[in-house]
Chain A
Amino acid sequence: MVGAGSAAGAALPGERVRISRLTRMLESEKLLAAALLAPGVVILVLFIAYPFVMAIWFSLTSIRVGDAGEFVGLANFTKAWSDTIFQVAFKNTVFYTFWATIFKFALGMWLALLLNRHFRFKRLIRASMLLPFIIPTVLSAFAWRWMFDPTFSVMNWLLFHSGVITDRLPFLSDGDWAMWCAVLVNTWRGMPFFAITLLAGLQTISPDLHEAAALDGANAWHRFWHVTWPLLMPVTLVVVVFSVIQTFSDFQLIYVLTGGGPANSTHLIATYAYQIGVASGLLGEGAALSLFMFPVLFAVVWVQLRFMKRMEGH
């Protein structure tokens, strides 16, 4: 306090009072905490909490661009529920999240185990493995779309000329194929995230444990299953939660790869909500469609919070 007072000694008397009052106020933990939290909380309330309330309000009205609409109750939700395109989109979203998460986890774990060994150019290889995660998804998804192109696909070229296929594969021109392609691209993009986070988990496991297990006669599989896997459980759960949320709410990959086509067969909830809410301007219906994601996201976050509480207890 004395230090602050003498530093402001040259200022006008009134000024000095104001400065010392401010510093005194900031000495209180509560007031300082409030001041420090304010900027972040304001942004989050303004652009997350408020839009969330608005989303619920929108979803209960018939609002569209340029027309405030009126209260319609749950009509938007019941309409969506009986909309066949939405039903397909919902199924696709579950399918996409389920398979992409499984592949990302399995391949990510494998890659993490490989990267955990000693080899030449380790740092360079590890760094380049993360590239799919760094490069904007929209841009890399275009590269994939080009590789899946019906007429100029390099993959069809390769398979045809190596004699594997006699006719081209309908990568993006068939709904079922296109969903699997989307799973493939999502796996490609998300696998490094799993690999690098699991690798960080692996590196915290003491090599002594493995050596002890090896001395007891455990083979590589047993060492993984009984030593590595249980110790990786916490980080695995967190990574899976993050990935499920990101994948379930994904938009950009499908937007670029198929745009929801052919014939609306590859929409995800988010891309369909965009088509209805932004492209067609039906804000109320679009908001309701987006909110269909909420129960699933909420359940995942709840599991995560419960888990964190339990970890703190230990």
Chain B
Amino acid sequence: MLIERKWKKWIFFYIPMTVFILFTLFPFYWMAVTAVRPDPELYRTWRQASATPFWTLEPTLEHFRELLKTTAFPQWLWNTMLIAIVSTIISLICGMFAGYALARLKFRGSEFLGTAIFVTYLVPQTLLFIPLADIIREMHLGNTPWALMLTYPTFLIPFCTWLLMGYFKTIPKELEECARIDGATRFGAMVRIIFPVAIPGILSAGIFAFTLSWNEFIYALIFMSSAELKTVPVGVVSELIRGDIFFWGQLMAGALLGSIPVALVYSFFVEYYVTGLTGSVKG
């Protein structure tokens, strides 16, 4: 419909788009290059000339080897994965139930509860971490995976509930009514009719919740103290900086390895993730 001249397309589209792509992806590229660059090349000061500043001719896996040898990195990966999966499942179950109740059932205070859950969605972790650490200790959950599996749902449940409530509202009521006429209970109709139809929504909420858990930092930093119980972000921060010395090769190797699982999950479910992301802010 709107025909553009070639030079205009370059100025208004190709050049800005290229700059955006470079800006967005360069840090990841730099992370990868640093991870495979041998130490003598890595620690070359900013004034020194370099024949290959943006790549390396002698890629090495030395940093990865050191990382796996000196730290409990595989264990951190496993912890992060387990905690992310369990907290996502807990949040999905709570969110599916609560979302259904708020979308479909009539009861007093439903509007108030909906608003209250939305408000908890907006409570940041940094507002409550000090008393929460104390509560976790009192409940004898400190330094156990359950400390995170039970607290991550505090920021995942509101989001799952909100997203799924919106999704359930788009499912025609007649579907359920038919099942009810055929003798299904309310609960049965919800589990066997509504939930299966809502699988795309559930998947979106789940993928988004998984990436949020993988990303969480402050609770994991405060609630877990043993090295072998840490999650990837906390492990990388606390074990790869010894004193004032940053082991940049290993740090970037760890950052790369710690990013791959979540990036893989994301790449398989991009469309669901985007639905979750855009749905997460829709009222």
Chain A residues within CB distance 8 Å of chain B: 2-4, 23, 26-27, 29-30, 32-34, 36-37, 39-41, 43-44, 47-52, 54-55, 57-58, 107, 110-111, 114, 117, 119, 123, 125, 127-140, 142-144, 146-147, 149, 151-154, 156-158, 160-161, 168, 188, 191-193, 196-197, 200, 207, 210-211, 214, 235, 238-239, 241-242, 245-246, 248-252, 255-256, 269-270, 273-274, 277-278, 283, 286-287, 290-291, 293-294, 297, 300-301, 304-305, 308, 311
Contact = CB atoms under 8 A, between A and B. Distances in A.
Contact of B232 (A139, A151, A158, A278): A139
A274 B218 CA distance: 9
Contacts of A291: 127
B205 interface: no
B46 A168 contact: yes
Given A211-B1, A297-B122, A139 B53 contact: no
A51 B135 CA distance: 7
Contacts of B129: 274, 277-278, 290
Contacts of A255: 217, 237
A258 B283 CA distance: 36
A47 B135 contact: yes
A33 to B, nearest CB: 4
Contacts of B154: 43-44, 47-48
B186 A32 contact: yes
Nearest to A140: B27
Contacts of B215: 136-137
- How would you classify the secondary structure of chain A's contact residues: helix, strand, loop or mixed? helix
B181 to A, nearest CB: 11
B134 to A, nearest CB: 7
Instruction: Return the 3 tightest CB-CB contacts between A and B, nearest first.
Output: A249-B124, A54-B131, A40-B94
Contact of B281 (A37, A158, A239): A239
B40 to A, nearest CB: 12
Contacts of B184: 3
Interface of B: 1-2, 13, 16-17, 20-21, 23-25, 27-28, 30-31, 34, 42-47, 49-50, 53, 90, 93-95, 97-98, 100-102, 105-108, 110, 113, 115, 117-120, 122-135, 150-151, 153-154, 157-158, 161, 183-187, 211, 214-215, 217-218, 222, 232-234, 236-237, 246, 248, 251-252, 254-255, 258-259, 262-263, 266-267, 270, 273-274, 277-278, 281-283
A278 to B, nearest CB: 6
Contact of B251 (A36, A136, A146, A214): A146
Contacts, number: 302
B167 to A, nearest CB: 15
Contacts of B123: 48, 52, 297
B252 A252 contact: no
A256 B236 CA distance: 11
A40 B124 contact: no
Contact of B115 (A119, A168, A305): A305
